[in-house]
Chains A and B, each alone.
Chain A
């Protein structure tokens, strides 16, 4: 497969400013919506099932199937809701930021198509509070839509801004937050399809999932399913960051090799350095060693290496990086973002950080490596939502794949890399004892 971009979601952005409605309409924008509205809701669902589209938020659940679980209005007369997950906060991912900023109308068109499919009149876009830029662009795009009842129909779209909490990206925490509460995950079942927002039928979809709908409807599901590889159809907007020459978002056909992503699109490692490791799908995914990148960027190929595309955030780390320091920073992130509901997640992530810090400073005994893995194991499978679990699995993978380096910290009584590693002594919010800024001196 060629190491080229394949623009489906981002189509047209190389030539036009698609933030403007007129420009978007000039390339037949909103014609997929008209086409969808000429179809029955069930026919739209069937076409999306045929496209084999799977969610781009992280869990990779088949989109059409998810929609088919939503009861019909005759079965459940409560209002039906489309809720957009625009909370993008996974370290390594910044694709939804760019999608909303550059193709806001394609995204909104996708929202309206989803609303037609599940017979909903209300769309809520839960956008992370820090995203002022994308929020303003979406707001302007919505203003343009307001003047166009022919496009908007009788559907209202409300932009709802979050207030800074990674966990609100988990769909049930997001719904709690959207209901005005603390963003703590709910137990499932019930699933949002049956009882979501205000206990009513709800579909929660990621920004990119929705922005993929207009091209799917336009070309037909079967045609879209010809792109990509089995079980991972179509394209994916991949965020590439860290130690690469050309970091950025690249839309590729699923199945493109990870090596091409890093070395061709990403331009390789700066300074001619060696690639040490790659986080393939955002901080929650199992790490790959530098020599494990001859793998297709798709669900099945990555599964063979026990990892996943997750939220498609590829982070490259060069040979200067210390894996214990990486562990500390990632563990601190999850410690900070744990909602606190489950003890294994709340306390376990804190213990993980403590052991990793002891390793880094040279105080740890060799047995603490197994203690660390044991803590990870005791978080795993004992939490309400995947946050605790992914933290444990990701950090355990650093130990397992770089065990020699972890041991060396014990043997040498400290870090072999020290401040030559760019991750040395990075100050995380949690290290400041919480997230509240200190008071102004009086």
Chain B
């Protein structure tokens, strides 16, 4: 297995200018460290040949890059118009109930973060819920307990 540093060098080589590797490098650092902690940003900056400040400035612009810790799993419920029209808010509330937290929070055991998210590009398959960045479509409140069960059982 190659190290993080080596992986980033390979990604840089795909681009005429290695700076283009910033987003993939940040994504990888986040996967490795759980979130973009100061160490993660330093490691990313080293691999990219830039500064941690620049990495942080870039990361703070993007919704999928987290500068604060999140749960091990992340549940994102689209609450934009098309999903909302068919009951996304109720799906979000079912997750709140099942997880025992409010949207925006993480469970006490650090397992699951729940948040609403802007349009996921699956409007015709509403409600769309992204679980660790994999879409579940046509989610209804009644489906929520099973989804949470799956997450809790560590799949």
- B69 and A427 contact, CB distance less than 8 A: no
Is A326 interfacial (CB 8 A cutoff)?
A: yes
In the assembled complex, the Cα of A122 lies from the Cα of B100 at a distance in Å of 49
Is B53 interfacial (CB 8 A cutoff)?
A: no
The interface stretch among A41-49, A176-184, A346-354 is A176-184
- B63 and A329 contact, CB distance less than 8 A: no
For B68, give its contact among A133, A425, A436 (CB under 8 Å).
A436
- B23 and A437 contact, CB distance less than 8 A: no
For A432, give its contact among B71, B116, B119, B120 (CB under 8 Å).
B116
| With A249-B124, A313-B123 as contacts: A423 and B85 at CB distance below 8 Å | yes
Interface size class of A (residues with CB under 8 A): 35 or more
Is A161 interfacial (CB 8 A cutoff)?
A: yes
Q: Mark A416-440, 1 if CB is under 8 A from B, else 0.
A: 0000001111111100100111111
| With A129-B64, A436-B66 as contacts: A93 and B121 at CB distance below 8 Å | yes
In the assembled complex, the Cα of A248 lies from the Cα of B122 at a distance in Å of 9
For A429, give its contact among B110, B115, B122 (CB under 8 Å).
B115
The interface stretch among A25-33, A162-170, A224-232, A371-379 is A162-170
Is B94 interfacial (CB 8 A cutoff)?
A: no
Q: Name the A residues within 8 Å of B9 (CB-CB).
A: none
For A437, give its contact among B20, B80, B89, B115 (CB under 8 Å).
B115
| With A92-B123, A163-B65, A427-B92 as contacts: A198 and B16 at CB distance below 8 Å | yes
- A163 and B92 contact, CB distance less than 8 A: no
- A429 and B82 contact, CB distance less than 8 A: no
Is A241 interfacial (CB 8 A cutoff)?
A: yes
The interface stretch among A146-154, A252-260, A330-338, A385-393 is A330-338
Q: Name the A residues within 8 Å of B20 (CB-CB).
A: 160, 178-180
B70 to chain A, nearest CB (A): 5
Q: CB-nearest residue of chain A relative to B48? A: A180
In the assembled complex, the Cα of A329 lies from the Cα of B23 at a distance in Å of 29
- A437 and B106 contact, CB distance less than 8 A: yes
Q: Mark B10-36, 1 if CB is under 8 A from A, else 0.
A: 000011110111111011000000000
- A180 and B116 contact, CB distance less than 8 A: no
B25 to chain A, nearest CB (A): 9
| With A158-B15, A165-B63 as contacts: A429 and B118 at CB distance below 8 Å | yes
Q: Name the B residues within 8 Å of A88 (CB-CB).
A: 121
- Most chain A Cβ neighbours within 10 Å, of B21, B63, B123: B123
- A315 and B123 contact, CB distance less than 8 A: yes
| With A165-B62, A179-B19 as contacts: A241 and B126 at CB distance below 8 Å | yes
Is B108 interfacial (CB 8 A cutoff)?
A: yes
Q: Name the B residues within 8 Å of A428 (CB-CB).
A: 79, 116, 118
Is A247 interfacial (CB 8 A cutoff)?
A: yes
- A248 and B61 contact, CB distance less than 8 A: no
Q: Mark B95-136, 1 if CB is under 8 A from A, else 0.
A: 000000001111010100101111111111110001001110
For A91, give its contact among B65, B74, B80, B125 (CB under 8 Å).
B80
- A438 and B104 contact, CB distance less than 8 A: yes
In the assembled complex, the Cα of A91 lies from the Cα of B123 at a distance in Å of 8
Is A19 interfacial (CB 8 A cutoff)?
A: no
Q: Name the A residues within 8 Å of B22 (CB-CB).
A: 180-181
Is A399 interfacial (CB 8 A cutoff)?
A: no
Is A205 interfacial (CB 8 A cutoff)?
A: no
Is A363 interfacial (CB 8 A cutoff)?
A: no
In the assembled complex, the Cα of A283 lies from the Cα of B125 at a distance in Å of 17
Q: CB-nearest residue of chain A relative to B18? A: A180
Q: Name the A residues within 8 Å of B70 (CB-CB).
A: 437, 440
For B124, give its contact among A128, A161, A239, A437 (CB under 8 Å).
A239
A10 to chain B, nearest CB (A): 14
- A92 and B66 contact, CB distance less than 8 A: no
- B64 and A439 contact, CB distance less than 8 A: no
In the assembled complex, the Cα of A79 lies from the Cα of B15 at a distance in Å of 12
Is A215 interfacial (CB 8 A cutoff)?
A: no
Q: Name the A residues within 8 Å of B108 (CB-CB).
A: 441
For B85, give its contact among A93, A313, A317 (CB under 8 Å).
A317
In the assembled complex, the Cα of A252 lies from the Cα of B6 at a distance in Å of 48
Q: Name the A residues within 8 Å of B124 (CB-CB).
A: 94, 239-241, 247-249
Q: Name the B residues within 8 Å of A133 (CB-CB).
A: 134-135
For B17, give its contact among A164, A198, A438 (CB under 8 Å).
A198
Q: Which of A122-136 contact B (CB under 8 A)?
A: 122, 128-133
| With A92-B123, A241-B123, A432-B103 as contacts: A132 and B133 at CB distance below 8 Å | yes
Q: Name the B residues within 8 Å of A336 (CB-CB).
A: 118
Given contacts A94-B122, A184-B61, 12 further A-B contacts (CB under 8 A): A92-B81, A131-B121, A162-B23, A163-B27, A163-B65, A165-B61, A180-B21, A242-B82, A243-B85, A247-B123, A247-B126, A439-B69
> Which 6 residue pairs across A and B have the least CB separation, nearest first?
A164-B63, A180-B22, A163-B62, A241-B123, A164-B64, A247-B124
Could you list 13 A-B pairs, sorted by A, with CB under 8 Å?
A: A92-B119, A92-B123, A94-B121, A156-B14, A198-B16, A239-B123, A240-B124, A321-B85, A333-B119, A422-B86, A422-B87, A429-B63, A437-B104
Interface residues, chain B, CB within 8 Å of chain A?
14-17, 19-24, 26-27, 48, 57-58, 61-71, 74, 79-82, 84-89, 92, 103-106, 108, 110, 113, 115-126, 130, 133-135
